[in-house]
Amino acid sequence: QASPAHGTSVPFHAPQQNIAAAMALTKEEDVQMMLVCKTHLGTRNCDHRMKRYVFRRTVDGIHIIHLGKTWEKVMVAARALVTIENPADIIVASQRPYGSRAVLKFAQYTGAHAMAGRWMPGTLTNQITTKYMEPRLLLVTDPRTDSQAVKEASYASVPVIALVDTDSPLQNVDIAIPANNKGK
């Protein structure tokens, strides 16, 4: 294919190569930021379902999370979040003190519904309560501390995205994003 202006041939698949190169650069930058934030540091314990996300184990016995797999799972979670037309149909929950600030910021920028602090039992299952909701997606910061929310989401057939550490239980979690969820 010859370009009439310059007389040179332009390959048809050039835009796809540019997109792939941009994604590789973005992935590298994101992984660098995750390293700075110590996202790769796991715990001493490792759940058998989380072994596939562990890169290696240090001399101290701390499991190191594979950040390439973390980035891939973040992209999968982003695709799932984008499919929901109304952001108010997303609930973001955290019972951890450091997670509540992140939940409130995420809700502020995306329009999702934030549930920082204590999860009211029956929020997804008891229609009589005033706080009853029917979300299309639940995002939690830790499936262990937010176990009540994850359990109710499984009863209501609501998909769950969770930030999981190496020792986190993965029951009823649909998309697990391996990351250090214990720190600030």
pLDDT tens, 134-143?
A: 899 999 988 8
Kindly tell me if the per-residue pLDDT of 133 is higher than 80.
yes
As a whole number, the mean pLDDT across the chain is 78
Lowest-confidence segment of 13-17, 59-63, 98-102, 139-143 by average pLDDT: 13-17
Kindly tell me if the per-residue pLDDT of 89 is higher than 80.
yes
* Band (78; pLDDT cuts 50, 70, 90): confident
Kindly tell me if the per-residue pLDDT of 15 is higher than 90.
no
Choose between 5 and 123: higher pLDDT: 123
* Band (40; pLDDT cuts 50, 70, 90): low
Q: What percent of the chain has pLDDT over 70?
A: 70
Whether 92 contacts 81, CB under 8 Å: no
pTM of the entire predicted model: 0.76
Kindly tell me if the per-residue pLDDT of 35 is higher than 90.
no
Residue 51: both structure tokens together? 């072994």
Q: What percent of the chain has pLDDT over 90?
A: 20
Query: Residue 178's pLDDT is what?
Result: 87
